[in-house]
């Protein structure tokens, strides 16, 4: 078993996942025009990005020990390829579409994005337990390095889409087809690599023991916190271009998203040791910085200085950097008996929270303006700071934070089907 290659193929599959988010947003307008549908209908077609993603994460947590990580990883790659194919082959309607399910072309669009949404969830459901298994002594550090490729993929996808538009005036079909390139690459790698059984299976932890971990008080606290950390990170991200366009009209709002994504990539990849050494303290500091950054951004007046806006975005960007991977790392380190199931529950909660947060933020923008919406979400950072502060005190009272070790951990002891 080659750990470095398994880690690399995990990174490539995560890049594919985030490229879907970046490119889908870029092609929404031309695709709506081509299929003669409204923005509301386009939103319905994009909706599987969240709920199918969430369903697949939850399902994979229960399946990964049964069918194996390799099989699910291969299925995820095939899903991207099939999804892109369905969309590219969808026939264009000859008139405005009254119902997306009543027209062959728009139905194929919906199914294509549904399949890709499932693939995105399968990727998350496979790579988290895979990395936790092959690096049992560096879970938080390696999960942070792995999830550096989420913002990395956003930057790659965003810049690629912009370049194809600016330099080649490429149609939306060419941009969409780019998603298949990394998917095909990691499909071939997954076929040729040997995957381990999960840490939980190798250590002979029973399925009933795994399920009992879901009722542990500390896990329930982490589960609830994941709803808030994900909403504070990804909720503003989805609205960032629109919000920043309104607050800093001198610059394209998407530049702030690319900037914070690039900042996150560098910090997660090269600064993962920070979270590994003190994960709870890291989460506490991130909560404070996120609250300050979002409140500062929300307080900007229209026409604000780009320099001040970038300073505020930097505080927010640093704050949100370690949320998602460190939450997964703490879950993996404190509940190794929970295996892939607990990682999938935490990841699924994070993605589902974004689906809840987006319309709430949208309503705040409509009622009070974009700045007020950001300051509304900033309150989550304050709540999280209190919770993680209490958690830090709890671990200190027990002698400090320590990862829980299973009695017999040997990632090379077996391979998955």
Contacts of 396 (CB under 8 A, 6+ apart): none
The answer to whether the beta carbons of residues 411 and 1 sit under 8 Å apart is yes
- The verdict on 133 and 231 lying in the same domain is no
Which of 41, 42, 49 is CA-nearest to residue 17?
Answer: 49
Which H or E run contains 312? helix 306-321
- The verdict on 177 and 224 lying in the same domain is no
- The verdict on 171 and 219 lying in the same domain is no
- The verdict on 218 and 284 lying in the same domain is yes
Contacts of 412 (CB under 8 A, 6+ apart): 1, 196
pLDDT of residue 246: 77
Which of 88, 75, 152, 80 is CA-nearest to residue 117?
Answer: 80
- The verdict on 12 and 150 lying in the same domain is yes
Distance (Å) of CA 185 to CA 57, 154, 328, 338, 357 = 22, 18, 26, 31, 34
- The verdict on 187 and 216 lying in the same domain is no
What tens digit of pLDDT does each residue of 180-215 get?
A: 999 999 999 999 999 998 888 888 888 899 999 999
Asked if residue 35 belongs to a domain, the reply is: yes
CA distance 278 to 252: 37
pLDDT of residue 409: 46
Structure tokens at 307: 């320099």
Residue holding tokens 């398994």?
6
DSSP state of 214: G
**How far is Cα of residue 351 from the mean position of the Cα atoms in its chain?**
7
How many separate domains does the chain show? 2
* Boundary of a domain, candidates 194, 225, 260: 194
Question: What angle separates helix 149-168 from helix 3-34, to the nearest 10 degrees?
Answer: 40
Give the three-class secondary structure for 415: strand
pLDDT of residue 257: 77
- The verdict on 123 and 36 lying in the same domain is yes
* Boundary of a domain, candidates 166, 194, 222: 194
pLDDT of residue 41: 86
The answer to whether the beta carbons of residues 100 and 114 sit under 8 Å apart is no
Structure tokens at 202: 């190798």
- The verdict on 185 and 218 lying in the same domain is no
Residue holding tokens 């509301």?
40
- The verdict on 93 and 145 lying in the same domain is yes
- The verdict on 167 and 307 lying in the same domain is no
CA distance 54 to 186: 22
Asked if residue 70 belongs to a domain, the reply is: yes
Give the domain range for residue 81: 1-194
CATH number of the domain bearing residue 291: 1.20.1250.20
CA distance 138 to 409: 13
Asked if residue 338 belongs to a domain, the reply is: yes
pLDDT of residue 417: 52
pLDDT of residue 253: 67
Residue 84: count other Cβ atoms within 10 Å of its Cβ: 22
pLDDT of residue 416: 56
- The verdict on 232 and 262 lying in the same domain is yes
Asked if residue 406 belongs to a domain, the reply is: no
What tens digit of pLDDT does each residue of 201-253 get?
A: 888 888 899 999 999 999 999 999 999 999 999 888 777 766 777 777 777 66
Q: What average pLDDT values come out for the chain (417 residues) when binned by 10 residues? A: 95 95 83 86 79 86 88 97 97 89 91 94 94 93 95 89 88 95 97 92 87 94 96 82 75 76 92 92 97 93 84 94 95 92 91 82 83 92 97 95 75 51
DSSP state of 281: H
């Amino acid at each position: 078993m080659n750990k470095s290659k398994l880690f690399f193929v995990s990174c490539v599959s995560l890049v594919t996942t985030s490229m879907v988010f970046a490119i889908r947003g870029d092609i929404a307008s031309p695709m709506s025009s081509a299929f003669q549908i409204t923005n509301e209908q386009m939103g319905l077609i994009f909706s599987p990005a969240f709920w199918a993603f969430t369903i697949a994460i939850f399902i994979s947590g229960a399946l990964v020990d049964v069918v194996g990580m390799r099989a699910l990883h291969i299925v995820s790659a095939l899903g991207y390829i099939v999804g892109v194919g369905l969309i590219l082959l969808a026939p264009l309607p000859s008139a405005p579409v009254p119902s997306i399910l009543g027209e062959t072309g728009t139905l194929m669009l919906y199914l294509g994005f549904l399949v890709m949404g499932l693939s995105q969830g399968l990727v998350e459901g496979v790579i988290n337990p895979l990395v936790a298994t092959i690096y049992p002594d560096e879970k938080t550090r390696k999960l942070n390095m792995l999830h550096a490729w989420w913002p990395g993929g956003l930057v790659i996808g965003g810049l690629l889409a912009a370049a194809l538009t600016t330099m080649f005036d490429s149609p939306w079909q060419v941009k969409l087809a780019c998603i298949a390139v990394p998917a095909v690459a990691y499909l071939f790698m997954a076929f040729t690599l040997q995957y381990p059984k999960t840490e939980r299976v190798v250590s002979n932890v029973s399925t009933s023991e795994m399920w009992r971990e879901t009722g542990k008080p500390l896990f329930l606290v982490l589960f609830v916190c994941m709803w808030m950390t994900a909403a504070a990170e990804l909720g503003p991200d989805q609205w960032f271009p629109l919000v920043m366009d309104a607050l800093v009209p001198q610059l394209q709002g998407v530049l702030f998203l690319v900037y914070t994504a690039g900042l996150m990539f560098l910090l997660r990849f090269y600064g993962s040791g920070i979270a590994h050494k003190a994960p709870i303290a890291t989460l506490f500091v991130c909560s404070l910085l996120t609250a300050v950054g979002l409140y500062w951004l929300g307080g900007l007046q229209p026409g604000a200085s780009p320099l001040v806006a970038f300073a505020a975005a930097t505080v927010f960007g640093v704050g949100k950097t370690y949320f998602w991977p460190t939450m997964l790392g703490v879950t993996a380190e404190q509940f190794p008996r929970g295996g892939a199931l607990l990682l999938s529950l935490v990841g699924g909660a994070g993605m589902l929270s974004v689906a809840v947060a987006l319309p709430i933020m949208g309503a705040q923008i409509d009622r009070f303006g974009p700045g007020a919406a950001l300051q509304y979400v900033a309150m989550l950072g304050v709540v999280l700071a209190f919770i993680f502060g209490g958690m830090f005190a709890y671990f200190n009272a027990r002698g400090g934070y320590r990862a829980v070790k299973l009695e017999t951990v040997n990632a090379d002891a077996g391979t998955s089907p």
